[in-house]
Structure 1
């Protein structure tokens, strides 16, 4: 085994329906968060659905959407050159050949604005869906010595506003924003959505019944004026067990999606 291959893995998702090349022992490794984020994009019978995965990493969430939604054309947007390379290599895997032509990688900073954003390859008012899993650790927390992981996990002040501003710019009117975050970020998310997104639906994700939420799933519609809905929580595990309940297992493996109400 050569040095490079020893520092990466090829991982299976959706029970083998797609595979991902990921760094080993460094950088961000995708898991359940990415699968639940992908599950916020609904199935559709439209001939073409344009999706942007902002901060895509190796491309897990965007690929999960492409596998489940046959009409999805997905742009994986990633700032870190090394992670963008992992995304390109993931697309090129033979196991992903069936949908690879519906995926592209754009190496760009999600926080770009105006003409710089457009010049980087993110035009205004073109996407039907934007998904994002922003860095979730406070920038003041103890940082990992792994610079690649720090980029993916530590947020700067104003990050939610910058990312959600970009989502609002590139989505078409009535397009859907979907994101997964920690519960403590809810105030920043609501502020950033402001008048850009309405009809917000927030679903808490609980490890087990009666426990506090560890994540929130958020969707919103560009330019909607509908009111916020706090949905019933999703419970991940059965009581006294690490096994997923059926609904979560289905979402995690691309058998269904978390429909808006």
Structure 2
């Protein structure tokens, strides 16, 4: 893949090469990584890892994890491997589709699955000019296929962490397999008093706790600043300091 940029994440703790005109990871990937409640010595698998932003950000925050990613597009899979080497991480990237998992993934059991599946409805959205960006925004596999694969790959007690636009919350809850319970939803709002635009979902394999809808967490604090970077203190800590997200 040519025409790449090299970008800083987590206050410079993570450097990622990304296509200048293709799919580019940003804040969503960092929030997803920060929401995964992983501990040293555990294993994590990202479904649809792209260039590796979220899974490598998780590795930067939690030392000693076994990291793996599944990626449909060969060029992005290769870029994820290159980014792992650039940052000194061991990352196994498996090429394949969530709807038809490759043999190398079928027997794997992990402690954590994280994902940010494509969320545009191709019947009601404009396609991106770049094919890689377009596929990342609106892939062929339904959300239920992503959730079913997560349920199969998690070991008992393992945790799924998902980030999606709020509008997809009904689909996400409806698509959760019966093996994933104890679901918790953390809405992320732009500012206090605003409707949340994103949701983080956690569910545990074999969990039996009641469903929890948590209070909304505002990304920005107070009125807009002149530079548009007026993040709340917790968001500054997560996005620049590489800390875990303050899950209530």
Fold match by TM threshold 0.5: yes
Q: Report Cα offsets for 1:112-159 as digits up to 9, x if no partner.
A: 2xxxx361x113461000000001111211211221111100144x61
- Equivalent residue number for residue 208 of structure 1: 191
- Equivalent residue number for residue 145 of structure 1: 129
Are the counterparts in 1 of residues 71 and 94 from structure 2 also a CA contact under 8 Å?
Answer: yes
Give how far 1:194 is off. 3.9
**TM score, norm. by length of structure 1:** 0.88
1 CA distance for matches of 2:74 and 2:138? 17
Gaps of 5+ in 1: none
Instruction: Give secondary structure in 2 for the equivalent of 1:30.
Output: coil
- Give runs of aligned pairs for residues 1-261 of structure 1, distance below 5 A: 4=2, 7-25=3-21, 27-44=22-39, 46=40, 48-93=41-86, 96-97=87-88, 100-101=89-90, 103-112=91-100, 117=101, 119=103, 121-124=104-107, 126-140=109-123, 141-156=125-140, 159-241=142-224, 242=228, 243-258=230-245
Instruction: Give secondary structure in 1 for the equivalent of 2:35.
Output: coil
Give how far 1:187 is off. 1.0
Give how far 1:260 is off. 5.1
Does the C-alpha gap of structure 1 residues 66 and 254 become closer, same or farther in structure 2, counting only changes over 3 Å?
A: farther
Are the counterparts in 2 of residues 118 and 124 from structure 1 also a CA contact under 8 Å?
Answer: no
- Give the aligned CA root-mean-square deviation in angstroms: 1.7
Instruction: Give secondary structure in 2 for the equivalent of 1:257.
Output: coil
